Amino acid sequence: MRYSGFRVLKEGLTGNKGWTKAWREPEPRPDYDIVIIGGGGHGLSTAFYLAKEFGITNVAVLEKGWLGSGNIGRNTTIIRSNYMLPGNEPFYEFSMKLWENLEQETNYNSMVSQRSILNLYHTDGQRDAYVRRANAMLLAGADAELADAKQLRQELPFLDYDNARFPIKGGLYQRRGGTARHDAVAWGYARGADSRGVDIIQNCEVTGFQIENGTCTGVETSRGAIRAKKVAMCVAGSSGRVAAMAGMRLPIESHVLQAFVSEGLKPVLPGVITFGAGHFYVSQSDKGGLVFGGDIDGYNSYAQRGNLPVVEDVCEGGMAIMPMIGRARLLRSWGGVMDMSMDGSPFIDKTHIDGLYFNGGWCYGGFKATPASGFCYAHLLAKDEPHPTATQMRLDRFMTGNMIDEKGSGNQPNLH
Amino acid sequence: MIIDHPLLGPRDAAEFVYLGDASLIDRPDWQAPDAMEKFHAYGYLRDNPAGEHQELWYHEQGDRSWLVVTRDTVTHTITKVELARDVARGKTKARGRGK
């Protein structure tokens, strides 16, 4: 069924009786060309692009819980491509271009809203770093714009420009950045993949790999064994656990990241704003809640909840740039488990086992990467060679010395 | 989280800085023929278990001691806290006996 304004109108006038289910609930078949482990944003977008771009539809997506129950359902929904390094920026800009066409491609309202993202700077040194980053962005075909405090005072009068400790001197805008409706991204990809013949199998947990003579030939699951020519891990957050079943040790630690939402308010924030002197980012959802977050808790964790010191730290960051936030009440907070990699950048690569592929290590930047991650992973799975924008996201880059360390903080995952 | 420091008693985890897996105590021999692979594994690869995990915490806002904390990464329950010094000495002793 194709969704359109006309369809909404027609169904509205005929009692909404014509709507069909957005995707099927198939039983797993005994073998597939490709089995994708993980029915989150990245797994579903991989399946979607495999079917749409590369014509491979004999594919199953295995999800241990319900579709989109992991980090695609618990992030702060920001999309942007304001990176600097050559291994990263072209990839994220590719993702941005896919975001801009996502709704037309999937025929699903993902509420992609290019409401801009602004990174504030507070010192001369930070301004210079942002100028450099803006130039790197422009070179990769993205948009970037430097704004001084005078311009910002006009556009965002509520910020605390004269804060004694962290005065706001200006910011780096990416006007094409913004937010998207996170769940709808998963649902749109799921519906698009399913309608092209991909089997999305929920409540099907992978419990082991079938590996014969260094070749992966399938998986064991809670719903029986499934053979596959290629098996694709796509379980950021649980990568350590799943890879351990294949006997792999990864350059990844699992950490918990908390996010927060305030009570619903009248529109106050036009776009996404981030603090430059601490770690704090905030946007306002279409329902009115201020959605914000900050640092990870900083210790290995698989628990989807964090501790209070970080709650305090994040709220202090918010108070430092917009004291008005202190009047809002916190409605909810929650935690998600992140694959924190050793250089803060992700992996889309083959493994040392033939037929077994790996996608993970997204740190806390996986949501914005959802379209390109799926596209590039599908490219790798279909052609056995990396997509041109993802050639450096290799698992062996620490051995070869080709790290993509955007922040320059070394092999300490809790500092990225 | 509360870390029960062996010398100072129960302290808030916010006083500590987290480093990572306690296997970082076992620095490989730089003269070994496979030192390259060993240091790659030491520096970059992690077991990252869901469950019991031994890890290094530094009491930065306290007595500046390094601790080995045994903690469950699924529940955050801490079951054992030792001085890293004692753990490292225990390992050296064990190695000595092996010779």
Is the model's pLDDT at A158 over the cut of 70? yes
Residue B94 — very low, low, confident or very high, per pLDDT cuts 50/70/90?
A: confident
Whether chain B has a CB inside 8 Å of the CB on A302: the answer is yes
Q: Are strands A215-221 and B17-21 parallel, antiparallel or unpaired?
A: unpaired
Q: Inspect the interface and report whether the beta carbons of B13 and A307 lie closer than 8 Å.
A: yes
**Alpha-carbon gap, residue A63 to A46, rounded angstroms:** 14
Tokens standing for A235? 């379980």
The per-residue pLDDT for B91 is 82
**Residues of chain B in Cβ contact (below 8 Å) with chain A:** 1, 12-14, 18-21, 40-41, 43-50, 53, 55, 71, 73-76
Whether the CA torsion A334, A340, A343, A347 is positive or negative: it is negative
**Alpha-carbon gap, residue A27 to A25, rounded angstroms:** 7
Is the model's pLDDT at A124 over the cut of 80? yes
CA distances (Å), A385 to each of A48, A389, B24, in order?
A: 19, 12, 35
What is the nearest CA distance from A308 to chain B, expressed in angstroms?
Answer: 9
The per-residue pLDDT for B99 is 44
**Within 13 A of A166's CA, how many CA atoms are on the CB side?**
18
The per-residue pLDDT for A134 is 98
Is the model's pLDDT at A214 over the cut of 80? yes
Compute the average pLDDT of residues A134-160: 97
**Within 13 A of A322's CA, how many CA atoms are on the CB side?**
24
Contacts of A77 (CB under 8 A, 6+ apart): A179, A180, A181, A182, A283, A285, A291, A367
Helix (H) or strand (E) holding A268: none
- Percentage of residues in chain A with pLDDT exceeding 70? 100
Interval B28-83: pLDDT, tens? 999 999 999 999 999 999 999 999 999 999 999 999 999 999 999 999 999 999 99
Q: Inspect the interface and report whether the beta carbons of A254 and B73 lie closer than 8 Å.
A: yes
Closest of A237, A206, A232 to residue A74, by C-alpha: A237
Total H helices, total E strands in chain B: 2, 6
Q: Inspect the interface and report whether the beta carbons of B73 and A249 lie closer than 8 Å.
A: no
Instruction: Identify the structural domains of chain B with CATH numbers, from first to last.
Output: 2-25+47-98 (3.30.2270.10)
What is the nearest CA distance from A5 to chain B, expressed in angstroms?
Answer: 46
Interval A358-376: pLDDT, tens? 999 999 999 999 999 999 9
Interval A187-204: pLDDT, tens? 999 999 999 999 999 999
Instruction: Using CB atoms, pick whichever of A253, A307, A309 lies closest to residue B46.
Output: A253
Compute the average pLDDT of residues A146-156: 97
Compute the average pLDDT of residues A222-247: 96
The per-residue pLDDT for B96 is 65
Closest-CA residue of A relative to B57 is: A299
ipTM of the complex in this document: 0.93
Instruction: Report the first-to-last Cα separation within chain A, whole angstroms.
Output: 43
- Chain B residues lying within 8 Å of A411, measured CB to CB: 43-44
Residue A104 — very low, low, confident or very high, per pLDDT cuts 50/70/90?
A: very high
The four Cα atoms A208, A210, A212, A217 give a dihedral, to 10 degrees, of -140
Is the model's pLDDT at A251 over the cut of 80? yes
Tokens standing for A244? 């351990």
Mutation site, B11, B40, B44, interface A, largest A CB count within 10 A: B44
Is the model's pLDDT at B6 over the cut of 60? yes
Helix (H) or strand (E) holding A314: helix A308-321
Compute the average pLDDT of residues A152-164: 96
What homologous superfamily does CATH list for A23-81+83-108+182-251+343-415? FAD/NAD(P)-binding domain (3.50.50.60)
Interval A278-336: pLDDT, tens? 999 999 999 999 999 999 999 999 999 999 999 999 999 999 999 999 999 999 999 99
| CATH 3.30.9.40 for domain A117-176+254-341 | no
The four Cα atoms A121, A126, A128, A129 give a dihedral, to 10 degrees, of -110
For chain A, the domains span: 23-81+83-108+182-251+343-415, 117-176+254-341
Helix (H) or strand (E) holding A166: none
3-state SS, residue A174 = strand
Contacts of A25 (CB under 8 A, 6+ apart): A202
Q: Inspect the interface and report whether the beta carbons of A411 and B44 lie closer than 8 Å.
A: yes
**Alpha-carbon gap, residue B60 to B14, rounded angstroms:** 10
